[in-house]
Chains A and B, each alone.
Chain A
Amino acid sequence: MIKSLHKRESDLANSNRQLEILSNGIFQQGELPKFKDKIAETGQFPLKAKKLEILQINVGYMCNQVCEHCHVDAGPDRKEIMTRETMRQCLEVIKNTGAHTLDLTGGAPEMNPDFKWFVDEASKAGIKDFIVRSNLTIIRANKKYYDLPDFFKQHNVHVISSMPHWTKGKTDKQRGDGVFDKSIKALQDLNAVGYGMPDSELRLDLVYNPSGAYLPGNQASMQKDFKKALLEEFNIQFHNLFAITNLPIARFLDYLIASENYEDYMYSLVEAYNPSAVESVMCTNTLSISWDGYLYDCDFNQMLNLPVHSKVKHIKDYNEELLDGRTIMISQHCYGCTAGAGSSCQGSVT
């Protein structure tokens, strides 16, 4: 198993170093156009937050996997975990916000010792769409997690899980040896309690992201291929596939640089820039909360330590009026969300 950048004491564990690489890269093909200038061409700068729709809470960076592309740099060696006190502060906001979606992410959110308590409490708030981003293998990692499919069902949780391919080779290469077999078993366990079945209200969606330095293909076509292969090979069903672009952050940035793909990848993002995707980028309707309660425009900005541009910096001081309409913090990594059909935690945006 590879180690996190933090454990390796890599330069890239430092978010300032990542931003420096992203902002100052002068390539053989010339200087990369600034994202700020690109969106200004179509009068979309500054990018402003709209009404809050999605509250995404990162309950900790600890994970049982160490995926090669992880923008969180998550892993078993990461100890940053949200406390129950911060969870209580989040619950206050969840109860009072008009957001229709609550999205728990990590790391593996299930590894937070207070995860079940938090889900129990949060599910009482009556949020329309309550998402848990599960890496699947956690469900099969240890007996104490075997009951997760039933627990999710009991709380009507919408499960969104990563599955980079329907073949073992591509999946294990990106996510680690043995991940594919465990993921298949976990999906079968979820299907067994009703998740992902065609008429079921128990939502099970999959996230596809490329296993290398290229952009995702058409989401609808990929979904068709995934559905066919998973059903024929493993009798697995799911609802939607979200195709997500890998952003040049943390371990994916490390991979791009080490494999000498960084320049070409950045240019491929710029060449695929789609101004109509800018309209719907997730940072404009999302608020990302870190394990220690700080506020960011998105999970990527959280990892780059680019906090919200607002007087309100922490969940304990949450004030929707002050946060609505804030200027979104942008940098060169934002090209990842505006390439092609656009990319968000809910897949394509156009």
Chain B
Amino acid sequence: MQKTYYDPADLKKFGKISEWNEELGSKFFEYYNSVFKEGKLSEREKSLIALAVAHTVQCPYCIDAYTGDGLKRGITKEEMMEALHVSAAIRGGASLVHGVQMMNKVNKLEM
């Protein structure tokens, strides 16, 4: 049994997911590849979104993949960090905005 939950080498094995379910795996990767093609948003913009989301879901594989992808696309470290602050702001905001629920309850119950 490996000593850690995550191994960077496993990222390269992502495609093997299809081996245990060819149909669903293939559909997923076809969808995945279509999502990242240029549309109304450029591939560059999508790469930055992916990087921000990767940090939100705290996926080390995704952070590895989309940091590398960004560098290849000429995305600067300043742009990457700005995208992360969007992620952090939404994540932080998501906690704080629930404070309204807390305040509603406190206001309802307290004299």
Contact = CB atoms under 8 A, between A and B. Distances in A.
Asked whether A and B interact, the reply is yes
Interface of A: 29, 165-167, 169-170, 208, 210, 212, 214-218, 221-222, 225-226, 271
B76 A217 contact: no
A217 B12 contact: no
Interface centre among B69, B71, B74, B76 (most CB of A within 10 A): B74
A284 B46 CA distance: 38
7 contacts: A165-B76, A170-B74, A215-B72, A217-B74, A218-B73, A221-B44, A225-B73
Nearest to B43: A221
Given A221-B43, A221-B44, A271-B12, A212 B74 contact: no
Contacts of B42: 221
Interface size classification for chain B = 10 to 19
Contact of B44 (A165, A166, A169, A225): A225
B68 interface: yes
A210 to B, nearest CB: 7
B74 A225 contact: yes
Contacts of B38: 221
Contact of A212 (B12, B44, B71, B78): B71
Contact of B68 (A214, A218, A226): A214
B38 to A, nearest CB: 8
B44 to A, nearest CB: 7
Interface of B: 9, 12, 38, 42-44, 68-69, 71-74, 76, 78
B46 to A, nearest CB: 11
Given A208-B74, A212-B71, A221-B38, 12 more contacts: A165-B76, A169-B76, A169-B78, A217-B69, A217-B73, A218-B73, A221-B42, A221-B73, A225-B44, A225-B74, A226-B74, A271-B12
B71 A167 contact: no
A271 B68 CA distance: 15
A165 B76 CA distance: 9
Nearest to A267: B12
A210 B71 contact: yes
A210 B74 CA distance: 8
Contacts of A271: 12
A216 B44 contact: no
